[in-house]
């Protein structure tokens, strides 16, 4: 992808080589609650602010010509959070999916998701599917949201898929597994970021990273 003169200048100013940019950046978006609490506010305020950070991250990745950005939005473990917080997050997600549709189209982003559909409310699934549908032919960056995602469950689903295909055991190799994951066909992440300063993987993209 051709970078604008402005982007090239900003890269040069930061001492970055455009040829060495990652193809696929994956982000574990953590620390929303602490961010808010440190400012004497409710955790949900941090989630609202997080949406703003997501927007600027997406814009910057588009400018840099990053091929794929994968954002960890909600893990299967997150269902253990208080019901009120879960409801807030799901409402926020739905609104986000609707509100960003225009931006997705303007930036030529191809929208996609990874995770299990089972367990997600219909009102979330509907907006998710609509974003996938309208952006399917876009040719810019792929934005992949991990929603109701678990790396272990992804492996379980992959094994189920492979077993259902009834392939002989000795024909199964790394490629078979890669192709059975939710991320089939996507480039593997070459940069994983976790915000909030912790080093945990929290069940994210276990095979891919
Ligand atoms: C990340 O922030 C958002 C989600 C996991 C949905 P947290 O809600 O985990 O905030 P902290 O880590 O408790 O500060
Ligand atoms: C990781 O953050 C999961 C997401 C960003 C969706 P968490 O805050 O949920 O992870 P743990 O509990 O600290 O491992
Ligand atoms: Mg956290």
In angstroms, the CA 15 to CA 97 distance is 35
* Closest ligand, as measured to the CA of 194: 2
Pocket of ligand 2, beta carbon within 6 A: 28-30, 72-75, 78, 200, 202
Nearest to 29 by CA among 105, 106, 93: 93
Q: pLDDT tens digits, residue range 2-36?
A: 889 999 998 999 899 999 999 999 999 999 999 99
Q: What is the pLDDT of residue 2?
A: 81
Domain definitions of the chain by residue range: 22-150+188-195
Q: What is the pLDDT of residues 167-178, one digit of tens each?
A: 999 999 999 999
Find the 136 Cα to ligand 3 centroid distance in Å: 31
Q: Does position 1 have pLDDT exceeding 80, yes or no?
A: no
Given this model, what pLDDT does residue 177 score? 98
> 29-45, pLDDT tens digit by residue?
999 999 999 999 999 99
Name the packing angle between helices 83-99 and 43-64 (round to 10°).
Answer: 30
Distance CA 67, CA 185 (A): 13
One of 3.40.50.1820, 1.10.3720.10, 3.40.1180.10, 3.30.465.10 is the CATH number of 22-150+188-195, namely 3.40.1180.10
């Amino acid at each position: 992808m051709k970078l604008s003169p402005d982007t090239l200048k900003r890269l040069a100013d930061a001492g970055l080589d455009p040829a060495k940019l990652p193809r696929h950046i994956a982000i574990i978006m953590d620390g929303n609650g602490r961010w808010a609490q440190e400012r004497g506010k409710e955790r949900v305020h941090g989630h609202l602010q997080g949406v703003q950070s997501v927007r600027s991250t997406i814009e910057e990745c588009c400018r840099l010509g990053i091929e794929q950005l994968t954002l960890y939005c909600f893990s299967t473990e997150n269902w253990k959070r208080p019901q009120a917080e879960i409801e807030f997050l799901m409402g926020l997600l739905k609104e986000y999916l609707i509100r960003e549709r225009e931006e997705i189209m303007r930036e030529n982003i191809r929208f996609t998701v990874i995770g299990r559909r089972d367990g997600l409310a219909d009102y979330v699934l509907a907006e998710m599917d609509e974003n996938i549908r309208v952006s399917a032919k876009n040719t810019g960056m792929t934005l992949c949201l991990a929603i109701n995602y678990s790396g272990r469950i992804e492996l379980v689903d992959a094994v189920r898929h492979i077993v259902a295909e009834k392939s002989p055991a000795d024909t199964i190799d790394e490629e078979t597994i890669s192709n059975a994951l939710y991320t089939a066909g996507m480039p593997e992440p070459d940069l994983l970021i976790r915000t909030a300063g912790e080093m945990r993987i929290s069940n994210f993209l276990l095979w891919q990273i």
